[in-house]
Amino acid sequence: MRYNNLIVYVQMNKHYRYMALSNIKESWWGFMESKINLDTKLVNLCRNSARNIAKETQEFIEKHTTVSVERTVCRLLGIDGINEYQVPLPNVVVDNIKKGNGLSVGAAVYIGNAMIRYSLTPQQIAEKVSSGELDLTKIPMEDIFDIKLEVSKIAKETVAKIRENSNKREDMLKEFGDKTEPYLYVIVATGNIYEDITQAVAAAKQGADIIAVIRTTGQSLLDYVPYGVTTEGFGGTYATQENFRLMREALDEVSMELGRYIRLCNYCSGLCMPEIAAMGAIERLDVMLNDALYGILFRDINMQRTMIDQHFSRTINGYAGVIINTGEDNYLTTSDAVEEAHTVLASQFINEQFALLAGLKEELMGLGHAFEMNPELKDGFLLELAQAQMAREIFPKAPLKYMPPTKFMTGDIFKGHVQNTLFNMVSILTNQRIHLLGMLTEAIHTPFMADRALSIENARYVFNNMHSLGDEITYKKDGIIQNRAKEVLMKTNDLLLEIEKEGLFKTLEKGIFAGVKRPIDGGKGLDGVIPKDREYFNPFIELMLDK
Protein backbone atom coordinates (compact mmCIF):
# COMPACT_ATOMS: atom_id res chain seq x y z
CA MET A 1 0.00 0.00 0.00
CA ARG A 2 1.38 3.44 -0.93
CA TYR A 3 0.57 6.88 0.36
CA ASN A 4 1.47 10.12 -1.40
CA ASN A 5 1.98 13.48 0.36
CA LEU A 6 0.18 12.18 3.41
CA ILE A 7 0.08 14.35 6.51
CA VAL A 8 0.01 12.25 9.68
CA TYR A 9 -0.91 13.92 12.97
CA VAL A 10 0.37 12.28 16.13
CA GLN A 11 -1.02 13.26 19.52
CA MET A 12 1.55 13.16 22.35
CA ASN A 13 -0.13 14.31 25.57
CA LYS A 14 -0.97 18.00 24.94
CA HIS A 15 1.41 18.39 22.03
CA TYR A 16 0.80 17.73 18.35
CA ARG A 17 3.37 17.39 15.64
CA TYR A 18 3.07 16.45 12.01
CA MET A 19 5.22 14.70 9.47
CA ALA A 20 4.95 15.15 5.73
CA LEU A 21 5.39 11.69 4.29
CA SER A 22 6.01 11.32 0.55
CA ASN A 23 6.03 7.98 -1.25
CA ILE A 24 5.76 6.07 1.98
CA LYS A 25 5.01 2.38 1.91
CA GLU A 26 3.43 0.42 4.72
CA SER A 27 5.92 -2.05 6.11
CA TRP A 28 6.82 -4.34 9.00
CA TRP A 29 7.03 -1.70 11.75
CA GLY A 30 3.94 0.36 11.08
CA PHE A 31 3.49 2.70 8.18
CA MET A 32 6.96 3.95 7.26
CA GLU A 33 9.26 2.33 4.73
CA SER A 34 12.78 1.65 5.91
CA LYS A 35 15.09 4.53 4.99
CA ILE A 36 18.05 2.18 5.00
CA ASN A 37 16.33 -0.63 3.10
CA LEU A 38 16.45 -3.10 5.96
CA ASP A 39 15.69 -6.71 5.12
CA THR A 40 12.59 -7.21 7.26
CA LYS A 41 12.77 -10.99 6.95
CA LEU A 42 16.29 -10.91 8.36
CA VAL A 43 15.14 -8.66 11.21
CA ASN A 44 12.40 -11.15 12.01
CA LEU A 45 14.91 -14.02 11.96
CA CYS A 46 17.13 -12.12 14.40
CA ARG A 47 14.21 -11.46 16.69
CA ASN A 48 13.13 -15.10 16.56
CA SER A 49 16.63 -16.30 17.45
CA ALA A 50 16.80 -13.84 20.34
CA ARG A 51 13.40 -15.05 21.53
CA ASN A 52 14.61 -18.66 21.55
CA ILE A 53 17.79 -17.66 23.40
CA ALA A 54 15.80 -15.82 26.05
CA LYS A 55 13.21 -18.59 26.45
CA GLU A 56 15.87 -21.25 26.95
CA THR A 57 17.58 -19.11 29.60
CA GLN A 58 14.21 -18.33 31.19
CA GLU A 59 13.70 -22.04 31.86
CA PHE A 60 16.77 -21.89 34.09
CA ILE A 61 15.62 -18.64 35.70
CA GLU A 62 12.20 -20.05 36.62
CA LYS A 63 13.82 -22.90 38.55
CA HIS A 64 15.99 -20.70 40.78
CA THR A 65 15.91 -17.82 43.21
CA THR A 66 18.70 -15.77 44.80
CA VAL A 67 19.44 -14.08 48.11
CA SER A 68 18.86 -10.70 46.45
CA VAL A 69 15.46 -11.77 45.09
CA GLU A 70 14.46 -12.89 48.59
CA ARG A 71 15.76 -9.69 50.19
CA THR A 72 13.64 -7.81 47.67
CA VAL A 73 10.58 -9.76 48.79
CA CYS A 74 11.40 -8.72 52.36
CA ARG A 75 11.66 -5.06 51.35
CA LEU A 76 8.41 -5.17 49.43
CA LEU A 77 6.73 -6.69 52.49
CA GLY A 78 7.81 -3.61 54.46
CA ILE A 79 11.08 -4.69 56.08
CA ASP A 80 13.57 -1.83 56.29
CA GLY A 81 16.29 -0.42 58.51
CA ILE A 82 19.54 -1.78 59.93
CA ASN A 83 20.66 -3.51 63.11
CA GLU A 84 23.22 -2.36 65.66
CA TYR A 85 26.01 -3.58 63.38
CA GLN A 86 24.70 -1.56 60.40
CA VAL A 87 23.52 -4.74 58.64
CA PRO A 88 20.28 -4.18 56.65
CA LEU A 89 17.38 -6.10 58.17
CA PRO A 90 16.43 -7.72 54.82
CA ASN A 91 19.93 -9.28 54.85
CA VAL A 92 19.46 -10.40 58.46
CA VAL A 93 16.18 -12.17 57.67
CA VAL A 94 17.41 -13.84 54.48
CA ASP A 95 20.67 -14.95 56.11
CA ASN A 96 18.64 -16.52 58.93
CA ILE A 97 16.47 -18.45 56.49
CA LYS A 98 19.45 -19.47 54.37
CA LYS A 99 21.31 -20.75 57.44
CA GLY A 100 18.31 -22.98 58.12
CA ASN A 101 18.28 -24.21 54.49
CA GLY A 102 14.87 -22.67 53.90
CA LEU A 103 15.33 -20.23 51.01
CA SER A 104 14.25 -22.81 48.44
CA VAL A 105 10.61 -22.17 49.41
CA GLY A 106 11.07 -18.40 49.60
CA ALA A 107 11.37 -15.83 52.36
CA ALA A 108 7.67 -14.98 51.99
CA VAL A 109 6.65 -18.38 53.34
CA TYR A 110 8.66 -18.04 56.54
CA ILE A 111 7.64 -14.43 57.10
CA GLY A 112 3.98 -15.30 56.53
CA ASN A 113 4.25 -18.25 58.88
CA ALA A 114 5.66 -16.04 61.65
CA MET A 115 2.96 -13.44 61.00
CA ILE A 116 0.23 -16.01 61.63
CA ARG A 117 1.95 -17.71 64.58
CA TYR A 118 2.83 -14.53 66.49
CA SER A 119 0.50 -11.85 65.04
CA LEU A 120 3.50 -9.71 64.11
CA THR A 121 4.21 -7.41 61.17
CA PRO A 122 7.12 -8.30 58.83
CA GLN A 123 9.12 -5.40 60.33
CA GLN A 124 8.57 -6.68 63.87
CA ILE A 125 9.56 -10.18 62.75
CA ALA A 126 12.78 -8.84 61.23
CA GLU A 127 13.65 -6.99 64.43
CA LYS A 128 13.10 -10.12 66.51
CA VAL A 129 15.22 -12.20 64.14
CA SER A 130 17.96 -9.57 64.44
CA SER A 131 17.83 -9.65 68.25
CA GLY A 132 17.97 -13.44 68.28
CA GLU A 133 14.43 -13.88 69.61
CA LEU A 134 13.24 -15.71 66.49
CA ASP A 135 14.72 -18.33 64.19
CA LEU A 136 12.31 -18.42 61.27
CA THR A 137 13.10 -21.95 60.06
CA LYS A 138 12.43 -23.46 63.51
CA ILE A 139 8.89 -22.14 63.88
CA PRO A 140 6.25 -24.88 63.34
CA MET A 141 4.63 -24.38 59.95
CA GLU A 142 1.02 -23.29 59.53
CA ASP A 143 -1.10 -24.36 56.58
CA ILE A 144 0.57 -23.15 53.36
CA PHE A 145 -2.74 -21.83 51.99
CA ASP A 146 -3.19 -19.62 55.06
CA ILE A 147 0.42 -18.45 54.85
CA LYS A 148 0.07 -17.39 51.22
CA LEU A 149 -3.20 -15.62 51.97
CA GLU A 150 -1.65 -13.67 54.86
CA VAL A 151 1.41 -12.59 52.88
CA SER A 152 -0.63 -11.69 49.82
CA LYS A 153 -2.63 -9.13 51.80
CA ILE A 154 0.51 -7.06 52.40
CA ALA A 155 1.85 -7.73 48.91
CA LYS A 156 -1.33 -6.32 47.38
CA GLU A 157 -1.00 -3.17 49.49
CA THR A 158 2.58 -2.72 48.29
CA VAL A 159 1.81 -3.09 44.60
CA ALA A 160 -1.10 -0.70 45.01
CA LYS A 161 1.29 1.93 46.39
CA ILE A 162 3.66 1.34 43.48
CA ARG A 163 0.77 1.73 41.06
CA GLU A 164 -0.17 5.01 42.77
CA ASN A 165 3.37 6.25 42.17
CA SER A 166 3.14 5.34 38.51
CA ASN A 167 -0.21 7.11 38.24
CA LYS A 168 1.25 10.22 39.89
CA ARG A 169 3.97 10.33 37.24
CA GLU A 170 1.37 10.04 34.50
CA ASP A 171 -0.77 12.75 36.08
CA MET A 172 2.18 15.14 36.19
CA LEU A 173 3.04 14.38 32.57
CA LYS A 174 -0.55 15.07 31.57
CA GLU A 175 -0.48 18.35 33.47
CA PHE A 176 2.84 19.59 32.10
CA GLY A 177 2.99 17.76 28.76
CA ASP A 178 6.03 15.92 27.48
CA LYS A 179 8.58 16.87 24.87
CA THR A 180 8.86 15.21 21.46
CA GLU A 181 12.61 15.80 21.01
CA PRO A 182 15.19 13.56 22.71
CA TYR A 183 15.31 13.89 26.48
CA LEU A 184 18.46 15.66 27.63
CA TYR A 185 20.03 13.29 30.14
CA VAL A 186 22.76 14.56 32.45
CA ILE A 187 24.65 13.03 35.34
CA VAL A 188 25.55 14.22 38.83
CA ALA A 189 28.25 12.41 40.76
CA THR A 190 29.58 14.39 43.71
CA GLY A 191 29.35 11.66 46.36
CA ASN A 192 27.23 13.95 48.55
CA ILE A 193 23.48 13.67 47.97
CA TYR A 194 22.90 17.27 49.06
CA GLU A 195 25.48 18.58 46.58
CA ASP A 196 23.96 16.29 43.95
CA ILE A 197 20.60 17.95 44.58
CA THR A 198 22.11 21.42 44.11
CA GLN A 199 23.65 20.36 40.78
CA ALA A 200 20.53 18.48 39.67
CA VAL A 201 18.25 21.47 40.25
CA ALA A 202 20.67 23.74 38.39
CA ALA A 203 20.80 21.30 35.46
CA ALA A 204 17.00 21.11 35.33
CA LYS A 205 16.77 24.89 35.20
CA GLN A 206 19.33 24.91 32.38
CA GLY A 207 17.15 22.51 30.35
CA ALA A 208 17.94 18.95 31.43
CA ASP A 209 15.07 16.44 31.32
CA ILE A 210 16.59 13.43 33.10
CA ILE A 211 18.94 13.55 36.07
CA ALA A 212 21.04 10.43 36.63
CA VAL A 213 22.73 10.08 40.00
CA ILE A 214 25.86 8.01 39.40
CA ARG A 215 26.53 5.40 42.05
CA THR A 216 29.71 5.37 44.05
CA THR A 217 32.51 3.24 42.62
CA GLY A 218 32.08 -0.43 43.47
CA GLN A 219 28.54 -0.35 44.84
CA SER A 220 27.46 -2.90 42.26
CA LEU A 221 29.74 -5.40 44.02
CA LEU A 222 28.16 -4.91 47.44
CA ASP A 223 25.80 -7.76 48.35
CA TYR A 224 23.68 -5.41 50.43
CA VAL A 225 22.08 -1.99 49.99
CA PRO A 226 23.55 0.83 52.14
CA TYR A 227 21.10 2.60 54.40
CA GLY A 228 20.14 6.23 54.95
CA VAL A 229 21.52 9.59 53.81
CA THR A 230 25.11 9.50 52.53
CA THR A 231 27.48 12.39 51.96
CA GLU A 232 30.68 10.59 51.00
CA GLY A 233 31.25 8.56 47.85
CA PHE A 234 33.91 7.93 45.22
CA GLY A 235 33.05 8.81 41.65
CA GLY A 236 29.39 8.92 42.60
CA THR A 237 26.84 8.74 45.42
CA TYR A 238 25.53 5.67 47.21
CA ALA A 239 22.18 4.42 45.96
CA THR A 240 20.02 4.30 49.09
CA GLN A 241 16.29 4.61 49.49
CA GLU A 242 16.63 7.79 51.52
CA ASN A 243 18.89 9.34 48.87
CA PHE A 244 16.28 8.39 46.28
CA ARG A 245 13.56 10.07 48.35
CA LEU A 246 15.53 13.28 48.83
CA MET A 247 16.38 13.64 45.14
CA ARG A 248 12.81 12.81 44.05
CA GLU A 249 11.46 15.45 46.41
CA ALA A 250 13.87 18.07 45.06
CA LEU A 251 13.09 17.25 41.44
CA ASP A 252 9.35 17.37 42.10
CA GLU A 253 9.78 20.86 43.53
CA VAL A 254 11.74 22.10 40.53
CA SER A 255 9.26 20.36 38.20
CA MET A 256 6.44 22.40 39.71
CA GLU A 257 8.52 25.55 39.43
CA LEU A 258 9.43 24.95 35.77
CA GLY A 259 6.12 23.47 34.67
CA ARG A 260 7.77 20.36 33.20
CA TYR A 261 8.38 16.94 34.66
CA ILE A 262 12.03 16.14 35.48
CA ARG A 263 12.81 12.43 35.47
CA LEU A 264 15.14 10.73 37.94
CA CYS A 265 17.51 7.91 37.03
CA ASN A 266 19.66 5.55 39.08
CA TYR A 267 21.23 2.10 38.78
CA CYS A 268 19.74 -1.31 39.62
CA SER A 269 22.65 -3.30 38.27
CA GLY A 270 25.07 -5.45 40.26
CA LEU A 271 24.46 -7.87 43.12
CA CYS A 272 21.33 -6.03 44.34
CA MET A 273 19.47 -5.53 41.06
CA PRO A 274 15.93 -6.34 42.26
CA GLU A 275 16.36 -4.66 45.65
CA ILE A 276 17.30 -1.33 44.11
CA ALA A 277 14.52 -1.73 41.54
CA ALA A 278 12.08 -2.10 44.44
CA MET A 279 13.48 0.99 46.16
CA GLY A 280 13.14 2.91 42.90
CA ALA A 281 9.53 1.79 42.49
CA ILE A 282 8.69 2.86 46.04
CA GLU A 283 10.31 6.31 45.63
CA ARG A 284 9.06 6.91 42.05
CA LEU A 285 12.23 6.85 40.02
CA ASP A 286 11.55 7.07 36.30
CA VAL A 287 14.59 5.48 34.68
CA MET A 288 16.93 2.75 35.91
CA LEU A 289 20.08 1.23 34.41
CA ASN A 290 19.23 -2.45 34.02
CA ASP A 291 21.08 -4.74 31.62
CA ALA A 292 20.89 -8.51 31.34
CA LEU A 293 24.61 -8.94 30.61
CA TYR A 294 26.45 -5.87 31.95
CA GLY A 295 27.21 -7.20 35.44
CA ILE A 296 28.51 -10.46 34.01
CA LEU A 297 30.85 -8.86 31.49
CA PHE A 298 32.09 -5.77 33.26
CA ARG A 299 31.76 -6.55 37.00
CA ASP A 300 32.47 -10.30 36.96
CA ILE A 301 29.20 -11.14 38.67
CA ASN A 302 28.20 -14.76 38.21
CA MET A 303 26.03 -15.22 35.13
CA GLN A 304 23.49 -17.46 36.85
CA ARG A 305 22.99 -14.91 39.62
CA THR A 306 22.65 -12.02 37.17
CA MET A 307 20.14 -13.70 34.90
CA ILE A 308 17.84 -14.58 37.79
CA ASP A 309 18.13 -11.15 39.38
CA GLN A 310 17.52 -9.24 36.15
CA HIS A 311 14.18 -11.00 35.64
CA PHE A 312 12.67 -9.93 38.97
CA SER A 313 14.18 -6.45 38.74
CA ARG A 314 12.64 -5.94 35.31
CA THR A 315 9.30 -7.27 36.49
CA ILE A 316 9.33 -4.59 39.19
CA ASN A 317 10.44 -1.87 36.78
CA GLY A 318 7.78 -2.82 34.27
CA TYR A 319 5.01 -2.71 36.85
CA ALA A 320 6.25 0.64 38.15
CA GLY A 321 6.40 2.18 34.67
CA VAL A 322 10.16 2.67 34.93
CA ILE A 323 12.18 2.91 31.72
CA ILE A 324 15.18 0.59 31.79
CA ASN A 325 18.47 1.59 30.22
CA THR A 326 20.58 -1.25 28.90
CA GLY A 327 24.37 -1.16 28.65
CA GLU A 328 25.39 -2.07 25.12
CA ASP A 329 27.41 1.14 24.92
CA ASN A 330 29.92 -0.46 27.30
CA TYR A 331 30.91 -3.03 24.68
CA LEU A 332 32.31 -0.23 22.56
CA THR A 333 34.58 1.07 25.29
CA THR A 334 36.51 -2.21 25.13
CA SER A 335 35.87 -3.30 21.53
CA ASP A 336 36.12 -1.52 18.18
CA ALA A 337 32.86 0.20 17.28
CA VAL A 338 33.19 -0.65 13.60
CA GLU A 339 34.17 -4.29 13.93
CA GLU A 340 31.89 -5.14 16.85
CA ALA A 341 28.76 -3.17 15.99
CA HIS A 342 26.85 -6.40 15.40
CA THR A 343 27.41 -7.48 19.03
CA VAL A 344 25.62 -4.31 20.12
CA LEU A 345 22.62 -5.07 17.94
CA ALA A 346 22.60 -8.73 19.02
CA SER A 347 22.57 -7.66 22.66
CA GLN A 348 19.72 -5.23 21.96
CA PHE A 349 17.67 -8.07 20.49
CA ILE A 350 18.41 -10.28 23.51
CA ASN A 351 17.70 -7.53 26.04
CA GLU A 352 14.39 -6.87 24.29
CA GLN A 353 13.29 -10.48 24.66
CA PHE A 354 14.30 -10.79 28.31
CA ALA A 355 12.39 -7.58 28.99
CA LEU A 356 9.26 -8.93 27.30
CA LEU A 357 9.44 -12.09 29.41
CA ALA A 358 9.50 -9.87 32.50
CA GLY A 359 6.37 -8.02 31.39
CA LEU A 360 8.19 -4.86 30.34
CA LYS A 361 6.51 -2.97 27.50
CA GLU A 362 8.55 -1.91 24.48
CA GLU A 363 7.86 1.72 25.40
CA LEU A 364 9.94 1.17 28.55
CA MET A 365 12.96 -0.43 26.86
CA GLY A 366 15.77 2.10 26.70
CA LEU A 367 18.01 -0.14 24.61
CA GLY A 368 21.52 1.27 24.57
CA HIS A 369 24.12 2.15 21.97
CA ALA A 370 26.84 4.77 21.59
CA PHE A 371 28.63 7.23 19.30
CA GLU A 372 32.07 5.64 19.80
CA MET A 373 33.87 5.36 16.46
CA ASN A 374 37.37 6.73 16.02
CA PRO A 375 36.98 10.38 14.90
CA GLU A 376 39.86 9.88 12.46
CA LEU A 377 37.85 7.27 10.56
CA LYS A 378 36.83 8.39 7.08
CA ASP A 379 33.04 8.63 6.77
CA GLY A 380 32.71 7.61 10.41
CA PHE A 381 29.73 9.93 10.80
CA LEU A 382 27.89 7.98 8.10
CA LEU A 383 28.61 4.68 9.85
CA GLU A 384 27.37 6.11 13.15
CA LEU A 385 24.25 7.38 11.42
CA ALA A 386 23.62 3.94 9.90
CA GLN A 387 23.88 2.25 13.30
CA ALA A 388 21.54 4.73 14.98
CA GLN A 389 18.98 4.66 12.17
CA MET A 390 19.03 0.87 12.18
CA ALA A 391 18.35 0.74 15.91
CA ARG A 392 15.53 3.25 15.53
CA GLU A 393 13.83 1.25 12.77
CA ILE A 394 14.27 -2.19 14.35
CA PHE A 395 13.00 -1.03 17.76
CA PRO A 396 10.46 1.65 16.77
CA LYS A 397 8.65 1.88 20.11
CA ALA A 398 11.73 1.76 22.32
CA PRO A 399 12.98 5.00 23.94
CA LEU A 400 16.53 4.30 22.77
CA LYS A 401 19.37 5.43 25.05
CA TYR A 402 22.16 7.01 23.01
CA MET A 403 25.52 7.51 24.70
CA PRO A 404 28.08 10.22 23.80
CA PRO A 405 31.69 9.84 22.65
CA THR A 406 34.02 8.98 25.53
CA LYS A 407 36.60 6.49 24.29
CA PHE A 408 38.27 8.94 21.88
CA MET A 409 37.92 12.11 23.91
CA THR A 410 41.43 13.44 24.46
CA GLY A 411 41.09 16.47 26.70
CA ASP A 412 41.04 18.87 23.73
CA ILE A 413 37.86 20.66 24.77
CA PHE A 414 37.35 22.33 21.39
CA LYS A 415 37.55 19.11 19.41
CA GLY A 416 35.50 17.40 22.12
CA HIS A 417 32.73 19.95 21.77
CA VAL A 418 32.68 19.29 18.01
CA GLN A 419 32.52 15.53 18.56
CA ASN A 420 29.56 16.06 20.86
CA THR A 421 27.89 18.27 18.26
CA LEU A 422 28.11 15.49 15.66
CA PHE A 423 26.69 13.09 18.24
CA ASN A 424 23.80 15.52 18.85
CA MET A 425 23.15 15.65 15.10
CA VAL A 426 22.85 11.88 14.77
CA SER A 427 20.49 11.77 17.74
CA ILE A 428 18.00 14.26 16.31
CA LEU A 429 18.28 12.87 12.78
CA THR A 430 17.35 9.36 13.97
CA ASN A 431 14.95 10.31 16.77
CA GLN A 432 16.82 8.82 19.69
CA ARG A 433 14.80 9.30 22.85
CA ILE A 434 17.21 9.32 25.79
CA HIS A 435 20.23 11.43 24.91
CA LEU A 436 23.07 11.36 27.43
CA LEU A 437 24.89 14.63 26.96
CA GLY A 438 28.56 14.54 26.10
CA MET A 439 30.86 16.79 28.12
CA LEU A 440 33.63 18.80 26.51
CA THR A 441 35.83 18.11 29.56
CA GLU A 442 35.48 14.34 29.24
CA ALA A 443 38.88 12.71 29.96
CA ILE A 444 39.90 15.68 32.12
CA HIS A 445 37.70 15.79 35.22
CA THR A 446 34.19 15.31 36.56
CA PRO A 447 32.09 17.96 34.79
CA PHE A 448 31.66 21.36 36.37
CA MET A 449 28.21 22.94 36.35
CA ALA A 450 29.46 25.30 33.62
CA ASP A 451 30.55 22.33 31.45
CA ARG A 452 27.09 20.85 31.81
CA ALA A 453 25.48 24.16 30.87
CA LEU A 454 27.55 24.36 27.66
CA SER A 455 26.59 20.81 26.72
CA ILE A 456 22.89 21.50 27.28
CA GLU A 457 23.14 24.68 25.22
CA ASN A 458 24.85 22.77 22.38
CA ALA A 459 22.22 20.03 22.29
CA ARG A 460 19.27 22.44 22.46
CA TYR A 461 20.72 24.46 19.60
CA VAL A 462 21.20 21.40 17.38
CA PHE A 463 17.84 19.85 18.26
CA ASN A 464 15.96 23.08 17.54
CA ASN A 465 17.72 23.90 14.28
CA MET A 466 17.53 20.34 12.97
CA HIS A 467 14.17 19.49 14.50
CA SER A 468 12.51 18.17 11.31
CA LEU A 469 15.58 17.29 9.25
CA GLY A 470 15.19 13.56 9.90
CA ASP A 471 11.75 13.66 8.29
CA GLU A 472 13.09 15.57 5.27
CA ILE A 473 16.03 13.43 4.19
CA THR A 474 16.37 10.03 2.58
CA TYR A 475 19.47 7.88 2.11
CA LYS A 476 21.09 6.86 -1.15
CA LYS A 477 20.11 3.42 -2.39
CA ASP A 478 23.02 1.01 -1.93
CA GLY A 479 25.10 3.87 -0.55
CA ILE A 480 27.47 3.79 2.40
CA ILE A 481 24.72 4.09 5.00
CA GLN A 482 22.44 1.41 3.56
CA ASN A 483 25.29 -1.00 2.91
CA ARG A 484 26.66 -0.53 6.41
CA ALA A 485 23.28 -1.31 7.96
CA LYS A 486 22.95 -4.38 5.76
CA GLU A 487 26.40 -5.63 6.77
CA VAL A 488 25.75 -5.19 10.50
CA LEU A 489 22.34 -6.85 10.33
CA MET A 490 23.76 -9.88 8.50
CA LYS A 491 26.56 -10.28 11.05
CA THR A 492 24.02 -9.92 13.84
CA ASN A 493 21.90 -12.70 12.42
CA ASP A 494 24.94 -14.99 12.16
CA LEU A 495 25.91 -14.22 15.76
CA LEU A 496 22.41 -14.81 17.12
CA LEU A 497 22.21 -18.14 15.28
CA GLU A 498 25.49 -19.12 16.92
CA ILE A 499 24.24 -18.10 20.37
CA GLU A 500 20.95 -19.91 19.77
CA LYS A 501 22.89 -23.08 18.94
CA GLU A 502 25.34 -22.82 21.85
CA GLY A 503 23.05 -21.31 24.49
CA LEU A 504 23.64 -17.99 26.21
CA PHE A 505 25.71 -19.34 29.09
CA LYS A 506 28.18 -21.13 26.82
CA THR A 507 28.39 -18.05 24.61
CA LEU A 508 29.38 -15.94 27.60
CA GLU A 509 32.01 -18.50 28.52
CA LYS A 510 33.52 -18.13 25.05
CA GLY A 511 33.84 -14.34 25.33
CA ILE A 512 31.80 -13.37 22.28
CA PHE A 513 30.53 -10.16 23.88
CA ALA A 514 33.19 -7.45 24.36
CA GLY A 515 35.89 -10.13 24.22
CA VAL A 516 35.26 -10.96 27.90
CA LYS A 517 35.15 -14.63 28.96
CA ARG A 518 33.22 -15.61 32.08
CA PRO A 519 32.90 -19.16 33.50
CA ILE A 520 29.40 -20.33 34.42
CA ASP A 521 30.52 -21.26 37.94
CA GLY A 522 32.82 -18.27 38.45
CA GLY A 523 32.43 -14.64 39.40
CA LYS A 524 30.82 -13.02 42.40
CA GLY A 525 27.55 -14.07 43.98
CA LEU A 526 27.20 -17.71 42.89
CA ASP A 527 26.74 -18.81 46.51
CA GLY A 528 23.57 -16.71 46.55
CA VAL A 529 21.83 -18.86 43.89
CA ILE A 530 19.28 -21.37 45.25
CA PRO A 531 17.18 -23.98 43.40
CA LYS A 532 13.46 -23.54 44.03
CA ASP A 533 11.35 -26.08 45.88
CA ARG A 534 7.99 -27.13 44.44
CA GLU A 535 6.33 -25.08 47.21
CA TYR A 536 8.29 -21.91 46.40
CA PHE A 537 6.27 -18.71 46.76
CA ASN A 538 6.91 -15.13 45.71
CA PRO A 539 3.64 -13.17 45.71
CA PHE A 540 4.99 -10.21 43.74
CA ILE A 541 5.80 -11.97 40.48
CA GLU A 542 2.18 -12.97 39.93
CA LEU A 543 0.76 -9.65 41.11
CA MET A 544 3.08 -7.57 38.95
CA LEU A 545 2.83 -9.67 35.81
CA ASP A 546 -0.96 -9.87 36.08
CA LYS A 547 -1.53 -6.25 35.04
Catalytically active residues, by annotation: 294, 329, 401
Q: Cβ of 495: how many Cβ atoms within 10 Å?
A: 21
Q: DSSP string spanning 59-112?
A: HHHHTEEEHHHHHHHHHHTT---B-TTS-BHHHHHHHHHHHTT-GGG-HHHHHH
Instruction: Measure the CA–CA gap between 471 and 281, rounded to whole angstroms.
Output: 36
Contact 81, 89 (CB under 8 A): yes
DSSP 524: B
**Residue 96 main-chain phi, psi, to 5 deg:** -65, -45
Cα within 13 Å of Cα(150), Cβ side: 21
Angle at 282 between CA 204 and CA 159, to 5 degrees: 135
Three-state SS for 186?
Answer: strand
| Separation CA 177–CA 16 (nearest Å) | 11
Residues pairing with 16 in the sheet: 11
Residue among 363, 486, 349, 401 at smallest CA distance from 44? 349
Q: Which residues are CB-contacts of 318 (< 8 A; sequence separation ≥ 6)?
A: 355, 358, 359, 360, 361, 364, 544
Strands (E), 249-385: 263-267, 287-289, 323-325, 365-366, 368-370
Phi–psi pair at 190, nearest 5 degrees? -85, -20
Sign, CA dihedral 164-90-358-292, equals positive
Q: Three-state DSSP class for 183?
A: strand
Q: How far apart, in whole angstroms, are the C-alpha atoms of residue 157 and residue 121?
A: 13
Q: Is the dihedral of CA 303, 305, 310, 315 positive or negative?
A: positive
